[in-house]
Chains A and B, each alone.
Chain A
């Protein structure tokens, strides 16, 4: 359980996190979604006390992170894969972290096996690929067998197999009743992993809801209708007043404002032959773009949005 209350962080004149409040619950995977620079990493750093909040507070299991008696036993964190001395071997790195909490060598070997690092554990981290670095970071997060996991962009740099592995791991950990909080700037990734999503844009929470609701939030439910009688049927639907009808090719209509069953009923009443009648769920990607289009700090092309 992670609780942020009116959390604010300013760096000089720049506000990275602005009055953010949210709760991350155990037993589910909570996604932390936002464009680059939205304040996701800063928020995660605030949770584990690396940065000091300018205002508000954040607690883990009801306590300040710094006050926890055994921080690594309660919270496992992957902030970025580069939080490792590159001159040390992966095993040396994990042993050093484990030693602070008296975590035995057997557990170090266990997380090395779990993250598939057996073959490279004795090698110096400077030679690691980004994907291997991520695995090492995740191994470090799992060391204390913590009830809460905070993973910042865990799939960055992973190959497709690794992405699936992280996805399964996150779901598995949540199923065990743990609190799993992972960030990404990719909506598609979240759609496949998270149960609940908190969307952050320019340091503010702009949505905090189950995945399904986030989808519905931005999708005007459109319905695709294919009929040989498209011109007559389109005019008929448009005349209804509630519906917006558009057509991108002959014989194909996109209708919003009416449900698929209602359109089917109208077609039957008018004797219109339908070849296709399918509700279009907006993709999560579309929903995300709709939610954050005003919140992106820098758009492509370098035009800064004021």
Chain B
């Protein structure tokens, strides 16, 4: 099997060096060679399509919001969008867990030492991880949301909802939903790079998505204050949730209560990511691996 090594050297004809393209390719190989990745993406696809079809089948005529047999064109599109994006609320948890695991899994197994000896400047590795995971999550989410939209459309007329495929705002909201799932994922990745431990990283991210809104709700209930309501609007999931809402300007907010539009919601979520990523990057650069 293994006797004396006859040949360890090879021809130094085309020696390539370390490059960012190579690091991106490396992270892509890492992502797709783990079973957990495949499972998590399969769950996102199944949840999105399954829950979308379920809501489309059981929703009352005219959609959940209006329940009118002659809903407005906007209300019809909103009902179709609601069915299409119902799975996002669950898919975001999967995306967050997977995002945290992309980096904490390397710390847990020791892989990070192999990664950082190959990329000793470190930051390109973290950046490549975020790009590869973010883009992959975006593409998978977008494909499953588009598929859900197409699959739910035939069920809608029975609910007095007639999908308009030429409606740009509908498709923009679909893209926003995919972007939301991707950004929640890379936010989790950035938090994972700070905490470096799978259990801790996942807990922190799920705490931010699931527990923080509840705490803010309690605050709102107890203090009945506008600042508590406004605080809630800037949490990652409520700000990001605007990215896939339909005609959000239709409701007029009360005085002094912030209501974000989809673009602002995206910016707030992007800011959450940017802050966590910068902290993670600084700590990655400074700490011993």
Show the binding face of A for B, using Cβ within 8 Å: 45, 48-52, 65-66, 68-73, 77, 79-80, 82-89, 92-93, 95-103, 107, 110, 114-116, 140, 142, 145, 161-162, 165, 168-169, 172-173, 176
Contacts and interface: CB of A to CB of B under 8 A. Distances in A.
A256 B116 CA distance: 53
Nearest to A135: B2
In this complex, the interface size class of chain B, counting residues with CB under 8 Å from chain A, is 35 or more
Contacts of B111: 83-85, 93
Q: Which 7 A-B pairs have the closest CB atoms?
A: A102-B16, A92-B33, A70-B17, A116-B2, A99-B26, A66-B120, A85-B111
Contacts of B289: 50-51
B34 interface: yes
B12 A50 contact: no
Contact of A100 (B35, B112, B119, B288): B119
Given A50-B113, A51-B289, A96-B26, A176 B9 contact: yes
Interface in B1-50: 1-5, 7-10, 12, 15-19, 22-23, 25-27, 29-30, 33-36
Interface stretch (B102-110, B179-187, B235-243): B102-110
B5 A102 contact: no
Residue picked from A96, A100, A102, A107, most chain B C-beta under 10 Å: A100
A51 B116 CA distance: 11
A79 B288 contact: no
B251 interface: no
Contact of A87 (B5, B22, B35, B110): B35
Interface in B264-289: 286, 288-289
Contacts of B1: 116
Contacts of B36: 87
B26 A71 contact: no
Nearest to A11: B288
Interface in B52-85: none
Interface of B: 1-5, 7-10, 12, 15-19, 22-23, 25-27, 29-30, 33-36, 105-106, 109-114, 116-121, 286, 288-289
Contacts of A95: 29, 33
Given A116-B1, A169-B5, A173-B8, A87 B15 contact: no
Contact of A68 (B109, B120, B286): B120
B16 A101 contact: yes
A84 B18 contact: no
A50 to B, nearest CB: 5
A65 B288 CA distance: 15
B110 A84 contact: yes
Contacts of A99: 22-23, 25-26, 29
B8 A97 contact: no
Contact of A172 (B2, B8, B23): B8
A50 B8 contact: no
Given A85-B34, A99-B23, 18 more contacts: A68-B120, A69-B18, A70-B15, A73-B17, A79-B113, A82-B110, A83-B112, A84-B109, A84-B110, A84-B111, A87-B105, A88-B34, A107-B10, A145-B10, A145-B12, A165-B2, A172-B4, A172-B8
Nearest to A92: B33
Contacts of A168: 4-5
Contacts of A88: 30, 33-34
B116 to A, nearest CB: 6
25 contacts: A48-B120, A49-B120, A50-B113, A50-B289, A66-B121, A69-B17, A71-B117, A72-B18, A72-B117, A84-B110, A86-B109, A87-B36, A97-B114, A99-B25, A101-B19, A103-B16, A110-B10, A114-B5, A116-B2, A140-B114, A145-B8, A165-B4, A168-B5, A172-B5, A173-B8
B26 A100 contact: yes
A185 B105 CA distance: 30
B33 A65 contact: no
B17 A96 contact: no
A83 B108 CA distance: 10
Contacts of A66: 120-121
Residue picked from A50, A68, A93, A103, most chain B C-beta under 10 Å: A50
Contacts of A114: 5, 7-8
A284 B117 CA distance: 34
